[in-house]
Amino acid sequence: MTIAKVWIEDGCIACGICEEICPEVFVVDDVSNVKLNVDFNEYASGIKAAADACPVEVIKYE
Ligand code: SF4
């Protein structure tokens, strides 16, 4: 599966786990943000791990 899009839905509690797991893609301020100009496929395993680890399940990708 290739990843063309990554986004954060409403409800992020800014716990920081996604940035810890995959700082190449996620940066957490008030809420988590997806970095621009990133080749998501290079970090596919990190994106999936972060989505699985997110306690409120707001990390989405397709
Ligand atoms: S892991 Fe989920 S709740 Fe935590 S900062 Fe990332 S998106 Fe927000």
Indicate the pTM of the whole model: 0.96
The mean pLDDT values, 10 residues at a time, for the chain of 62 residues are 95 98 98 97 98 98 98
Residues with CB under 6 A from ligand 1: 8, 12-18, 28, 32, 54-56, 58-59
- Distance in angstroms (rounded) separating the CA atoms of residues 13 and 26: 14
pLDDT of residue 12: 98
Pocket-testing residue among 9, 18, 34, 47, ligand 1, by greatest number of atoms within 8 A of Cβ:
18
pLDDT at 1: 79
Enumerate domains of the chain plus CATH numbers. 6-61 (3.30.70.20)
CA 47 to chain centre: 5
pLDDT, position 20: 98
Tokens of 55: 């306690």
Out of 30, 34, 58, give the residue to mutate to test ligand 1, the one with the largest number of ligand atoms within 8 Å of its CB. 58
